[in-house]
Amino acid sequence: MLPEFETYLRSHSDLTETDMQRITGCATLRHVHRNERLLQEGQICRHKIFILKGLLRTFGTSTDGNEHILHFAPELNWTLDAESYDRQIPARFTIAAIENSDVLLWGKTDFDFLLTDIPALKALAQKLISTTIYSSRQRLLTTLSGSPQEKYEDFFRSFPDLVPRLPLHMIASYLGMSLKTLTRIRHGQLHR
């Protein structure tokens, strides 16, 4: 079985053992190498992704080639391109591994059936959607109104375990600032 995933489900839902077995039974376990892409911009997102081990990022690329990171997904988190998945349209974003990662994948048809058939899974999914909306709104407010220093401090407070795992250029991309600005902020913190 998948002990990390089952522990996650037990702590976040009221699923029965039978339901957990059905959910894991529909999943495909996949090892993803560092920098490997699970979804490429322009493809249709056909899977829900749960990260057992490792770290993924969701990003878009502007016409000038700059990467803009929208989301980091460490172990014991879900990720996907929601619009592409829900509407079955080409993705506007790419999902790639930052570290070697182990993920579980569910095809849309299978997962939709599980949601219909297992009310506790549907309740968990709705809770996750709400949490994502709340955190996205907070991030948007910080991005629009915060100074570079405030953005970095908020990131550090929100994701202290990710900071040592991420290259500075990815943190800068996520925060919408230049690497030079982020380096200056971090240097200033070290000399306080």
Instruction: Give the alpha-carbon dihedral of 79, 82, 88, 92, to 10 degrees.
Output: -90
Looking at the 3D structure of the chain, how many domains does it have? 1
16: its two tokens:
């029965």
Within-domain flag for 166: no
DSSP, collapsed to helix, strand or coil, labels residue 94 as strand
Within-domain flag for 49: yes
Within-domain flag for 134: no
Instruction: Give the alpha-carbon dihedral of 183, 184, 189, 192, to 10 degrees.
Output: 150
138: its two tokens:
């907070």
Within-domain flag for 126: no
CB 23 within 8 A of CB 15: yes
The domain of 71 spans 3-118
Least trusted range by pLDDT, from 101-110, 136-145, 182-191: 182-191
Within-domain flag for 146: no
pLDDT (tens digit per residue) in 117-135: 999 999 999 999 999 999 9
Local confidence band at 164 (pLDDT 50, 70, 90 cut-offs): very high
Within-domain flag for 33: yes
CB 93 within 8 A of CB 25: no
Within-domain flag for 69: yes
Here the CATH number for the domain that contains residue 48 is 2.60.120.10
Within-domain flag for 114: yes
Local confidence band at 167 (pLDDT 50, 70, 90 cut-offs): very high
CA distance 155 to 136: 13
* Strand ranges across the sheet with 101-107: 28-32, 101-107, 47-53, 77-79
Output the pLDDT for position 188: 76
